[in-house]
Structure 1
Amino acid sequence: MMNAAFVKKQRVTLAALFLLIIATFAVGMRLGDASIPFSRMLPTLFGQGSFKENFVLFDIRLPRLIITLLSGMALALSGSILQGITRNDLADPGVIGINSGAGLAISVFFLYVPIEEPGSFTYLIPLVGFAGALLTTLLIYLFAYSRGEGLQPVKLVLVGVGFAMALSGAMIVVISSADRMKVDFIAKWLAGNIWGTDWPFIWALLPWLVLLIPYTLYKANALNLLSLNESSAIGSGVAVNRERIVLLIVSVALAAAAVSVTGGIAFVGLMAPHIARALVGTRVQLFMPVSILMGGWLLLLADTVGRNLVDPDGIPAGIMIALIGGPYFLYLLLKK
C-alpha cells in the first residue's frame, strides 16, 4: 500500500511537469529565425495559419520538439531501469557506454552500407543502434559480473566508462577515411545535435515507447525488489538473472531508439531519476512516471535554449545537457 501523501505529491509533480512541458513547447514553437507570435500559434495549430506559418510550425518546429520530448523520456526511463537493476546511482546509458555502442553501429551502417530505399533508413536506424548497444551491453555485463558475487555495481560503471572511451576512439578511426559530408553528420551525432527532425522519425521512435513504457511500469514490483540486495530479491521469489536480463534489454532498446535520432546524449538518464526520487520517493511506481516526464522536459529545455542561444546553428542539446550533467555526475561520484 502506497503512502497517500506520496501519491498526492506525485500527482502534483506530474501536473507541474506537464505544464512545464506545455510552456516549453510554446516557447520552442515561438522562437527561431522565423518567429510565430503567440497570438498566431493556436490558429496555426488548428489549420488557420498562412503557408509560411504552417511550414515553420508543422515542417520545422513541431517535429523537432516532439522528437526531443520522446527521446528525453526514453533516455530517462532507460536510466531509471539501469539504476534499479544494477543498484548503482551512477548508471546512465551515456556514461556506461551503451550510447557509444549504438553510435558506432550507426556510424558503420551510415558510412559503409548502401541504402537502396532512402525511406527505409529512418526505420532501420533504431534497429541498427539497438544491435550495437545490445552487443556492447552484453560485453559490459560479462566483464562486470562475478559468479560468486553477482553483478558488481561499481565495476559496472568502471567497465562501462572504459568501453565508452574505447568505442569513441573506434568511431574516430572508422570515420577518419570516410566521405566528408558523412563525417559531418557523424560529428553532429557525437555532439548530440538533434538531427531526426522529420515526422517519419517520430513514427520510427514512437512504437518503442508505446510498447516499452507500459511494460516497464508493469514490471515495477520486480524493479523494486531488484533494487534491494541480491539475497533479498531472491528470497522474495524474483528470478533475479532472468528479470535483470529482460529489463536490461528493455533499457538498451529505449536508449538506442532515442540516440539513433538525437545523437550521443548522456546524463539525461542520470539526472531525471535522481530528481524524481528526490521529489516523490524511491518506490518505482511513484518516481518512474515523474522521471519519464522530467527527462522529456530536461532535453526539451536544453534543446530549446541551446538552439536559440548562439547564431546561426546554436549549441547542440547534448552539449547543453553535458554542461549540467557532467558536474552533477562528479558530485554524485564524490558523494557516493
Structure 2
Amino acid sequence: MTKRIKLTTWLVVLCVLMLVLAVINLNTGQMSISPSQIMNLIIGKGSYDSQLVIFDFRLPRITVTLVVGFALAIAGNVLQSTTQNPMADTSFLGINSGAGIAVMLFMALVKNQDANLFLLPTMALGGALLSTVLVFAFSYKKDTGITPNRLLLTGVALAGLYSSIMVLLTLKLSPENYQFVMNWLAGSIWGTSWEYIVMLLPWFIICTVFIFSKTRTLDTFNLGDDVAQSLGVNLKRERIVLIGAAVILAGVSVSISGGIGFIGLITPNLARRVIGFKHSQQLVLSGVLGSFFLLAADTVGKLISTTSEIPVGILVAIIGAPYFVYILMRTK
C-alpha cells in the first residue's frame, strides 16, 4: 500500500510539473504567447497567427516529446531487465547509430525527398532493427550466451564503426542535407507535425500495451535465469519478443525525434530506486519520467535560445553522460 501511494504521489507531482513545463513551452519562442492568449485559443477566441503557431507547431512538438520520452524510457527499461544490465540503453545497443546510417543513406540516395518523406522513418526503423540484430549476434557465445559486459562492449564497438561509415557518407551529402543529418544525430526533434504523430501512435500503442502485458514475465528476469526457467518461463522466446518490441518502439521514436540517448538509461534506474523492482509500477514511473525529462530538456533549450534551436539530445546528454559514469563505477 505504501508503494502504491508513493507511486501515485510521484505521478501526480510529475504530471503537475509537466503541465507547468507545457505552458512555458507553448509561451516560448520567437512569437511570445501568454497563458491568457492560450486560454482564448482553447475557447476559440484567439487570433489566426496564434492558432497557427500553437496548434500547427508548438503543440505537436510537445506531443512528440511526451510520447517519445515515454517510449524511450520503457524501451530502456525492457532492455535493462531482459539483459540484466543496468547500463543497457538504445544509444549503446546500436539503435540510434543504426537509424542514423539509414537517415544518411536516405538523404544521400533519395532524390525527391519531400515526396518520400515518410520513407525516412521507415528506413530509420529498419536501420535500428538491423543494427540491434548485429549487436546481439556478435555478443553471443555458445558456451556463455550473451553477457552484459560483452553486449555493452559490442554495442560501443559497432557504434564506432557506424560513426566512421557516417563520416564517409557525409561526402555524398549537400550542405543542406548535411546540416539536417547533423541536427538529427544531435537529437533535434524534427518530426513535429500531426502527420508524424499519427504515424508514430499505432506503433507506440501496440508495443506499449504488449510490454505492459508482460510485466510478470519481466519480474521473473530479476530472479535469474535458473529460477525463471524453473517457473516455466521460456526465457529465449520471451527475451526475443520483448527485446524486439523495445527495439521497434525505440526505433520508431528516434526516427522522428532524432538520435536522443540516455533517456532509456536514466529513467529505469531512477524508477527502480524510487519504486522498487515490480515492473507493473516501474514501467509506469519510467515512462512518465522519460516524458518529463524530454519535455524539460526541450523547454530549457527554448528558454536558452528562442532564435536558434538547441538539440534536445545535447541537453539530455549533459545529464546522462555523468550518470552513465556513475552507474559504471557502481556496477561490479
What TM-score do you get using the length of structure 2 for normalisation?
0.96
CA offsets 1:138-193 (integer angstroms, 9 cap, x no match)? 11111212222222011111111111121122112112222221111101111111
For 2:69, the equivalent position in structure 1 comes to 72
Cα distance in 1 for residues equivalent to 2:149 and 2:47? 56
| Contact 1:86–1:227 (8 Å) recurs in 2 | no
Cα distance in 1 for residues equivalent to 2:303 and 2:167? 29
Q: 1:242 aligns with which of 237, 242, 246?
A: 237
Q: Does the alignment pair 1:150 with 2:151?
A: no
RMSD over aligned CA atoms reads 1.5
CA offsets 1:182-216 (integer angstroms, 9 cap, x no match)? 11110111111111111111111111111111110
Structure 1 residues without counterparts, runs of 5 or longer = none
SS at structure 2 position matched to 1:146: coil
Structure 2: which amino acid aligns with 1:176?
L
Bigger shift: 308-317 or 207-216?
Answer: 308-317
CA offsets 1:69-105 (integer angstroms, 9 cap, x no match)? 1111111111011001000000000123211111111
Structure 2 residues without counterparts, runs of 5 or longer = none
Q: Does the alignment pair 1:201 with 2:196?
A: yes
Q: 1:259 aligns with which of 254, 279, 290?
A: 254
Alignment CA distance shift 1:117-1:197 (3 Å): closer
Q: Does the alignment pair 1:121 with 2:117?
A: yes
| Contact 1:83–1:90 (8 Å) recurs in 2 | yes
| Contact 1:308–1:314 (8 Å) recurs in 2 | no
TM-fit CA distance, 1:117:
7.1
For 2:179, the equivalent position in structure 1 comes to 184
SS at structure 2 position matched to 1:21: helix
TM-fit CA distance, 1:315:
1.8
Cα distance in 1 for residues equivalent to 2:70 and 2:107? 25
Structure 1: which amino acid aligns with 2:283?
M
For 2:165, the equivalent position in structure 1 comes to 170
Cα distance in 2 for residues equivalent to 1:58 and 1:140? 40
Q: Does the alignment pair 1:95 with 2:92?
A: yes
Structure 2: which amino acid aligns with 1:236?
L
For 1:139, the equivalent position in structure 2 comes to 134
Cα distance in 2 for residues equivalent to 1:238 and 1:115? 49
Aligned identity (percent) is 37
Cα distance in 2 for residues equivalent to 1:16 and 1:311? 28
| Contact 2:217–2:233 (8 Å) recurs in 1 | yes
Q: 1:212 aligns with which of 185, 207, 214?
A: 207
SS at structure 2 position matched to 1:192: coil
SS at structure 2 position matched to 1:75: helix
Bigger shift: 6-15 or 27-36?
Answer: 6-15
| Contact 1:67–1:197 (8 Å) recurs in 2 | yes
Structure 1: which amino acid aligns with 2:117?
F
Cα distance in 1 for residues equivalent to 2:224 and 2:103? 36
For 2:40, the equivalent position in structure 1 comes to 43
Q: Does the alignment pair 1:310 with 2:309?
A: no
For 1:326, the equivalent position in structure 2 comes to 321
Q: 1:230 aligns with which of 225, 228, 231?
A: 225
For 1:19, the equivalent position in structure 2 comes to 16
Bigger shift: 231-240 or 286-295?
Answer: 231-240
Cα distance in 2 for residues equivalent to 1:133 and 1:161? 15
For 1:276, the equivalent position in structure 2 comes to 271
Structure 1: which amino acid aligns with 2:221?
L
Alignment CA distance shift 1:116-1:13 (3 Å): closer
Cα distance in 1 for residues equivalent to 2:113 and 2:66? 30
Cα distance in 2 for residues equivalent to 1:159 and 1:21? 36
Alignment CA distance shift 1:116-1:174 (3 Å): closer
Structure 1: which amino acid aligns with 2:302?
R
For 2:54, the equivalent position in structure 1 comes to 57
Q: Does the alignment pair 1:111 with 2:108?
A: yes
TM-fit CA distance, 1:331:
0.7
| Contact 2:29–2:306 (8 Å) recurs in 1 | no
Structure 1: which amino acid aligns with 2:271?
A
TM-fit CA distance, 1:37:
0.9
